[in-house]
């Protein structure tokens, strides 16, 4: 289910950018958690900010704010929305 | 006629209802609104989650409904025993809780899609369900319109809009709960792929003892708790699960299967029942967040807020602590010690040195615990806690922990006990235990007296580089010893004993809200009470045991030496009084003769008589003072003699070889053992054992002098001083790293549910303390 081709991941989106999730990949437990939190294919996300030390990142999806580590966000393939 | 042993109990039906929901949806507030503060909180045995049960208000006469507040969760896919509690309660698999007759799923109305994910899982457990659309005022503010009736109808349940904070909708919700009690469970509205249903049917024959929900979870949750249960239930389960998963993968059904089915059903449903505004409004919360998580200002705010928290538990608790220590326990001890009726025997000693000291040892922590939990409830209630974790996650990730560990670790600098209790906010059990195990390494306030006395006695009051005070540097260094050791310890723990999946940091940042005074008050009350009741009894017991070890066996003739000294003093005093009487007679005679002499002579005689009287008074007072001092000294000597031959003293002798490489004699060894209930006890014990009386405190000049004067009593170093810079620094490092705090160990046992973790903490910290002290002594001797 991992993003291929363009290979853009959530971790690479800059602050303020929006994207649509195309695939989630990673360890079984983590993937399940990400999906439960709504990070499922088709969901639109917006990068809100990065923590002062550059990691973790804060994103907005479905009207709520979620923080996740960039390492975990690298398993989330996205296509960038205008 | 009623027989006394067989009282008539009115027959009444007691039904149970479970309350479940995501974190941060106001579930506990709703629980309080529904139960009206009748809740009782306890712990589920063997796990670290709290069990809260209350009685539903507004039920008809004769119907009692117990409401159980399940831990907040995003999903029933349990990945730890803690998370499994909710699943087990819903399935009626816990011996301590009857199976509920209905379930209330509390939803955040501003984020229905994610919240309904859990609701669709709960709909499959085979119980009637009621949905509470909480925070519906927030939803309205954000411009959302929700058709609750249509939503409920689509799921085959009733949905009620609520605002728990203001009690809105709770009457209607109570009515719906009562109505649901006698309803059938709704059929699942979801359509699962036939391949999954077929796989589940096959599993049913391998795992007949498991419920359909457990089998589904075992199949879907790779590495989850239900899978472990399946493995334990049937040897064939492992292969059967692997085969079933493989077949599912072959039909294109992977890890996204469950989310695909649930969100596939929910997305169109939410689109139909919820009308959203075109552009989401920028909320107050967003504006606050822009500052509080700002790269610069956010970091500054964190430093200021944490400094305040630290100050509060460190400094603000201090007056309360001395109130308890001196005004309450101190005065009570003095009062009991002065009770003639008790005599001077064991009973008084047990009351003062065993029980009152033990009670004091428990109560002394209470101000810090209550203040910290009040502040934590404030920070959690307003939503800042998740932000603090967000800001600090990167730093703590370096040692294998997460941002969630930050506040417990910081609190531990004041006292490890509230710090360990504060780890309850850490969701991952492994992270939580790792944090609990390193928290006691943070230098708590109880270590300060130990540092102060030893630095005062053995570290020269010099300056380094011309301006840095050496004593202050050593004091600061003691704080860093703990931190520097905690880093590799946490790192190793997370790679060995607490190894698990890659730790992640998936944390919801809830909107900022005004914290509720009631919630803050409850948190303070509950945590304080729980500590006193649950940890207190064990801490008290430990104090009494150590007291008994120091008190038995009794000295055959306790204080005989002192009594002989006092008798000699008294005999001398009798002789002195006789001399005074003779002198007085002579003076009075001279005065008599003086009356017939000229005025100048008379005046001189009178003057001599006045001087005599003044000297006589002075002597009587001095003798009385000397007598008091002698009595006190003989008492202290008797205590010292008692300690030397007590079990504790013998243990000191016994372990002396262990501590010998660190440069300590048996007296220090004994003081270390006696300080097991609490580190700061070591100062008093050193005082007693070096014959100072237990009033010795850290500021005591005499104790410092005695420590400097202490000499080896036997062995190759006989006659040499026990303490030099090396052995004093070694003792400080030992106390910086050791687990000499029974209260901490008791709390670790309680929070982890296992004695083994407490034992592990004691063993690893004591071993580290010994090695640290040995290295310190070695290095200091080499350098100086």
pLDDT score recorded for residue B421:
83
Cα–Cα separations (whole angstroms), residue B694 to A45, B539, B561, B682: 65, 21, 20, 10
Is residue B13's pLDDT more than 80?
no
**Mean pLDDT estimate for chain B:** 85
CB B353 within 8 A of CB B450: no
Secondary structure of B75-94 as H, E, C letters: CCCCCCHHHHHHHHHHHCCC
Between residues B765 and B327, the one the model is more confident about: B765
Residue from A21, A24, A25, A28 to probe the interface with B (highest B Cβ count within 10 Å) = A28
pLDDT digits (tens, 9 = 90+) for B32-51: 999 987 778 776 766 667 78
pLDDT at B699: 58
For residues A60 and B494, the model is more confident at A60
Helix, strand or coil for residue B262?
helix
Q: What is the pLDDT of residues B185-239, one digit of tens each?
A: 999 899 999 999 999 999 999 999 999 999 999 999 988 899 999 999 989 999 9
What pLDDT shows up at residue A4? Answer: 46
Of A28, A58, A62, the CB nearest to B222: A28
Confidence of residue B272 (pLDDT cuts 50, 70, 90): very high
Name residue, tokens 């907040």.
B72
How would residue A80 be classed by pLDDT, with cut points 50, 70 and 90?
very high
Q: Other C-beta atoms within 10 Å of B73: how many?
A: 21
The arithmetic mean of pLDDT across residues B144-159, rounded, is 95
Q: Which of B423, B697, B366 is nearest to B539 (CA)?
A: B366
**What is the model's pLDDT at position B569?**
87
pLDDT band at B178 (very low <50, low <70, confident <90, very high): very high
Q: Which residues contact B394 (CB under 8 A, 6 or more apart)?
A: A51, A53, A54, A55, A56, B403
Contact residues, chain B, for A70 at CB < 8 Å = none
Which of B221, B298, B509 faces A32 most closely, judged by CB atoms? B221
B117 touches chain A (CB under 8 A): yes
B149 or B656: which carries more pLDDT confidence?
A: B149
Question: Which of B506, B507, B510 has the highest number of chain A CBs within 10 A, making it the mutation to test binding with A?
Answer: B506
Please give the pLDDT value at position B232: 93
A10-81: CATH superfamily:
Ferrous iron transport protein A (FeoA) (2.30.30.90)
Residue B5 has pLDDT above 50, yes or no: no
Cβ contacts (< 8 Å) between B504 and chain A: which residues?
A: 30, 33, 68-69, 72
pLDDT of res. B1 = 41
Q: What is the mean pLDDT of residues B509-526?
A: 87
pLDDT surpasses 70 at B68: yes
Write out the two tokens for B494: 């997370």
Rounded CA separation B534/B722 (Å): 41
Residue in chain A nearest B510 by alpha carbon: A65
Using CA atoms, how far apart are residues B51 and B42, in angstroms rounded to an integer? 5
Do A28 and B75 make contact, defined as CB atoms within 8 angstroms? Answer: no
Pairing between β-strand B129-134 and β-strand B145-146 as defined by DSSP bridges:
unpaired
Tell me the per-residue pLDDT of B597-626, one tens digit each, with 9 for 90 and over. 888 888 888 888 899 999 999 999 998 888
Per-domain residue ranges of chain A: 10-81
Contacts of B746 (CB under 8 A, 6+ apart): B535, B538, B539, B542, B758
Interface probe with B: pick from A27, A29, A54, most Cβ of B within 10 Å: A29
Any A CB within 8 A of B675 CB: no
Tell me which chain B residues have a C-beta less than 8 angstroms from the C-beta of A30: 501-502, 504
Residue B694: band (very low, low, confident or very high) from pLDDT cuts 50, 70, 90: low
- Scanning B285-324 for CB atoms below 8 A from A yields 289, 293, 295-296, 298-299
**Cβ separation B394–A51 shorter than 8 A:** yes
Q: Is the pLDDT of residue B336 over 60?
A: yes
What pLDDT sits at residue A36? 93
Whether B293 and A32 lie within 8 Å, measured CB to CB:
no
- Here the ipTM equals 0.92
Q: Which long-range contacts (CB under 8 A, 24 or more apart) does B584-589 make?
A: B584/B612, B584/B616, B587/B612
pLDDT in tens, B483-504: 899 999 998 998 888 876 556 7
Work out the number of other CB atoms within 10 angstroms of the CB of residue B495: 10
Contact B73, B64 (CB under 8 A): no
Q: Which of B78, B138, B80 is nearest to B111 (CA)?
A: B138
pLDDT score for B46: 63
Partner-chain contact A55 B259, CB within 8 Å:
no
For residue B553, whether the previous peptide bond is cis, meaning omega lies within 30 degrees of 0, is yes
* Closest by CA position to B662, among listed B718, B738, B709, B726: B726
Q: Which residue of A has its CA nearest to B144?
A: A63
pLDDT at B698: 58
Q: Is B509 on the interface with A (CB under 8 A)?
A: yes
**Closest Cα in chain B, distance from residue A56 (Å):** 7
> Would you place residue B280 in the very low, low, confident or very high pLDDT band (cuts 50, 70, 90)?
low
Contact call for B506 and A34, based on CB within 8 A: yes
Chain B residues touching residue A52 (CB < 8 angstroms): 295-296, 298-299, 391
Q: In this model, does residue B95 exceed pLDDT 80?
A: yes
3-class DSSP assignment, residue B15: strand
Candidate from B65-74, B99-108, B521-530, B755-764 with smallest mean pLDDT: B521-530
Contact predicate B293/B305, CB 8 Å: no
The region, left, alpha or beta by phi > 0 then psi within -120 to 50, assigned to residue B167 is: left
Backbone region of residue B191 per phi and psi (left: phi > 0; alpha: psi in -120 to 50; beta: other values): beta
Q: Which residue has the higher pLDDT, B333 or A39?
A: A39
- Residue B253 CA, chain-centre distance (Å), reads 46
At B22 the pLDDT is 94
Q: Which pLDDT tens digit goes with each residue over A14-48?
A: 999 999 999 998 888 889 999 999 999 999 999 99
| Average of per-residue pLDDT across B173-192 | 93
Does the predicted model carry a pTM greater than 0.90?
A: no
Q: What is the dihedral of CA B534, B535, B539, B541, to 10 degrees?
A: 20
Which residues of B, range 386-425, sit inside 8 Å of A by Cβ?
A: 386, 390-391, 393-395, 397, 403
Average pLDDT over residues B155-160: 95
Q: How far is A63 from chain B (nearest CA, A)?
A: 7
Q: pLDDT band for position B591 (50/70/90)?
A: confident
pLDDT at position B466: 76
Reduced to 3 states (helix: H, G, I; strand: E, B; else coil), residue B541 is: helix
B74 touches chain A (CB under 8 A): yes
pLDDT for B314 equals 65
Beta bridge partners of B159: B131
B626 φ/ψ angles, rounded to the nearest 5 degrees: -60, -35
Whole-number pLDDT of residue B489: 93
Distance from CA of B181 to the nearest CA of A (A): 29
| A1 Cα to chain B: minimum distance (Å) | 9
A78 phi, psi to nearest 5 deg: -135, 155
CB contact under 8 A, A49 and B502: no
- How far, in whole angstroms, is CA B662 from its chain's centroid? 31
CB contact under 8 A, B77 and A32: yes
d(CA B429, CA B425): 10
Tell which of A15, A30, A33, A52 to mutate to test the B interface (max B CBs under 10 Å).
Answer: A52
Is A66 close to B223, i.e. CB distance below 8 A?
Answer: no
A66, closest residue in chain B (CA to CA): B508
Question: Mean pLDDT across chain A, nearest whole number?
Answer: 89
Cα angle B678-B679-B683, degrees, rounded to a multiple of 5: 115
Round to whole Å and give the CA distance between B462 and B725.
Answer: 14
CA-CA-CA-CA torsion sign (B49, B46, A35, B194): negative
> CA B710 to CA B581: how far, in whole Å?
44
In A, what residues contact B, Cβ < 8 A?
Answer: 1, 24, 27-38, 40-42, 49, 51-56, 58, 62-69, 71-72
Does residue B396 have a pLDDT over 80?
A: yes
- B255 closest CB neighbour out of A32, A64, A72: A32
Which residues of chain A make contact with B298, given a CB cutoff of 8 A? 52
| Residue A50 DSSP SS3 | strand
Residue of B111, B263, B390 lying closest to A40 (CB–CB): B263
What pLDDT does A2 receive? 43
Chain A residues touching residue B220 (CB < 8 angstroms)? 32
Region of residue B291 (left: phi > 0; alpha: psi -120 to 50; beta: else): alpha
Any alpha helices (H) in B412-505, and if so which ranges?
A: 416-421, 429-438, 448-458, 470-495
B10 has a pLDDT exceeding 80:
no
Cβ neighbours of residue B227 closer than 8 Å, sequence gap 6 or more = B217, B218, B221, B241
Contacting B residues, span 194-253, partner chain A, CB-CB under 8 Å: 220-224
Paired sense of beta strands A64-68 and A76-81, if any: unpaired
What are the tokens at B652?
A: 């000191």
CA-based Rg of chain B, rounded to a whole angstrom?
Answer: 35
Which chain B residues contact residue A49 at CB under 8 A?
293
| Residue contact A36–B117, C-beta within 8 A | yes
User: B343: how many CB neighbours lie within 10 A of its CB?
Assistant: 9
State how far the alpha carbon of B284 is from the alpha carbons of B35, B91, B98, B138, B385, in Å. 32, 41, 43, 12, 18
Q: How far is B205 from chain A (nearest CA, A)?
A: 26
pLDDT tens profile B282-298: 778 888 888 888 888 98
Coil/strand/helix, residue B14: strand
CA B420 to chain centre: 4
Cβ distance B280 to A54 less than 8 Å, yes or no, reads no
Which residue among B221, B224, B395 places its CB closest to the CB of A53?
Answer: B395
Omega before residue A34 within 30° of 0, cis:
no
User: Which element (helix H / strand E) includes B645?
Assistant: helix B599-645
Q: Which residue has the higher pLDDT, B547 or B26?
A: B26
Note the pLDDT tens digit of each residue in B429-488: 888 899 999 999 998 877 877 787 788 888 888 887 777 788 888 888 888 898 899 999
For B147-156, B337-346, B365-374, B403-412, which range has the lowest pLDDT when averaged over its residues?
B337-346
CA–CA dist B623, B447 (Å, integer): 41
- Of B75, B393, B508, nearest to A66 by CB-CB distance is B508
What was the pLDDT predicted at A57? Answer: 95
For residue B254, give the chain A residue with the closest CA.
A1
Residue B474: which residues within 8 A CB-CB, separation 6 or more? Answer: B451, B455, B459, B729, B732
């Amino acid at each position: 289910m991992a993003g291929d081709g363009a290979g853009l991941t959530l971790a690479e989106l800059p602050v303020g950018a929006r994207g649509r999730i195309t695939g989630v990949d990673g360890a079984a437990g983590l993937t399940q958690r990400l999906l439960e939190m709504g990070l499922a294919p088709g969901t639109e996300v917006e990068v809100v900010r990065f923590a002062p030390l550059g990691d973790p990142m804060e994103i907005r999806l479905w009207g709520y704010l979620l923080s996740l580590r960039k390492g975990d966000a690298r398993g989330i393939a996205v296509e960038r929305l205008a | 006629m009623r027989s006394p042993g067989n009282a008539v109990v009115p027959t009444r039906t007691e039904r149970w209802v479970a309350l479940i929901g995501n974190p941060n949806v106001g579930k506990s507030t709703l629980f309080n609104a529904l139960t009206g503060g009748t809740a009782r909180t306890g712990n589920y045995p063997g796990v670290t989650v709290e069990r809260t049960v209350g009685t539903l208000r507004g039920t008809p006469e004769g119907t009692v409904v117990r409401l159980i507040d399940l831990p907040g969760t995003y999903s029933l896919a349990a990945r730890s025993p803690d998370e499994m509690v909710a699943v087990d309660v819903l399935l009626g698999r816990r011996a301590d809780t009857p199976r509920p007759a209905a379930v209330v799923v509390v939803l955040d109305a501003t984020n229905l899609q994610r919240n309904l994910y859990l609701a669709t899982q709960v709909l499959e457990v085979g119980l009637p369900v009621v949905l509470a659309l909480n925070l519906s005022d927030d939803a309205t503010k954000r411009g959302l319109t929700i058709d609750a009736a249509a939503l409920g109808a689509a799921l085959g349940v009733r949905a009620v809009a609520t605002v728990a904070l203001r009690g809105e909708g709770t009457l209607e919700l109570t009515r719906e709960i009562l109505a649901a009690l006698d309803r059938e469970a709704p059929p699942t509205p979801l359509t699962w792929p036939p391949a999954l249903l077929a796989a589940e049917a096959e599993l049913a024959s391998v795992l007949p003892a498991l419920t359909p929900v457990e089998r589904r979870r075992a199949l879907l949750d790779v590495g989850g708790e239900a899978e472990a249960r399946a493995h334990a239930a049937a040897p064939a389960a492992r292969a059967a699960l692997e085969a079933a998963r493989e077949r599912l993968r072959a039909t294109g059904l992977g890890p996204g299967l469950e989310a695909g089915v649930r969100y596939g059903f929910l997305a169109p449903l939410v689109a139909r029942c919820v009308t959203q505004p075109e552009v989401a409004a920028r909320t107050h919360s967003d504006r606050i967040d822009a500052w509080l998580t700002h790269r610069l200002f956010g970091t500054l705010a964190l430093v200021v807020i944490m400094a305040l928290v630290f100050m509060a538990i460190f400094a603000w608790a201090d007056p309360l602590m001395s109130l308890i220590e001196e005004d309450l326990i101190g005065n009570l001890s003095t009062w009991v010690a002065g009770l003639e009726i008790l005599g001077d025997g064991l009973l008084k000693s047990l009351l003062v040195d065993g029980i009152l000291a033990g009670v004091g040892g428990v109560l002394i922590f209470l101000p810090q615990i209550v203040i910290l939990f009040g502040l934590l409830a404030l920070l959690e209630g307003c939503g800042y806690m998740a932000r603090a974790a967000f800001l600090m996650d990167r730093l703590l990730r370096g040692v294998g922990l997460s941002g969630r560990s930050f506040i417990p670790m910081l609190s531990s600098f004041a006292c490890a006990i509230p710090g360990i209790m504060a780890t309850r906010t850490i969701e991952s059990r492994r992270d939580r235990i790792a944090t609990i195990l390193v928290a006691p390494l943070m230098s708590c306030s109880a270590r300060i007296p130990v540092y102060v006395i030893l630095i005062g006695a053995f570290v020269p009051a010099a300056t380094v580089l011309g301006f840095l005070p050496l004593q202050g540097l050593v004091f600061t260094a003691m704080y860093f010893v703990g931190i520097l050791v905690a880093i590799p310890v946490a790192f190793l723990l997370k790679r060995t004993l607490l190894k698990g999946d890659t730790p992640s940091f998936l944390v919801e940042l809830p909107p900022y809200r005004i914290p509720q005074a009631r919630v803050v008050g409850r948190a303070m009350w509950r945590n304080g009470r729980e500590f006193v009741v649950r940890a207190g009894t064990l801490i008290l017991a430990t104090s009494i045991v150590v007291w008994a070890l120091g008190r038995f066996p009794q000295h055959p003739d306790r204080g005989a030496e002192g009594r002989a000294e006092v008798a000699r003093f008294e005999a001398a005093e009798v002789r002195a009084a006789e001399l005074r009487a003779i002198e007085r007679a002579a003076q009075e005679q001279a005065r008599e003769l003086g009356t017939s002499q000229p005025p100048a002579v008379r005046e001189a005689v009178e003057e001599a008589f006045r001087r005599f009287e003044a000297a006589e008074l002075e002597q009587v007072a001095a003798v009385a003072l000397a007598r008091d001092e002698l009595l006190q000294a003989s008492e202290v000597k008797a205590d010292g003699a008692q300690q030397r031959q007590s079990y504790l003293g013998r243990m000191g002798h016994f372990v002396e070889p262990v501590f010998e490489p660190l440069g300590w004699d048996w007296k220090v060894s004994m003081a270390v053992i006696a300080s097991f209930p609490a580190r700061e006890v070591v100062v008093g014990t050193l005082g007693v054992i070096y014959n100072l009386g237990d009033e010795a405190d850290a500021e005591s000049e005499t104790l410092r002098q005695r420590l400097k004067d202490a000499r080896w009593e036997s062995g190759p170093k006989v006659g040499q001083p026990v303490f030099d810079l090396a052995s004093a620094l070694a003792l400080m490092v030992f106390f910086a790293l050791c687990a000499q705090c029974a209260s901490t160990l008791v709390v670790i046992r309680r929070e982890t549910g296992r004695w083994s973790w407490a034992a592990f903490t004691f063993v690893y910290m004591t071993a580290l303390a010994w090695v640290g002290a040995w290295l310190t002594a070695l290095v200091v001797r080499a350098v100086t």
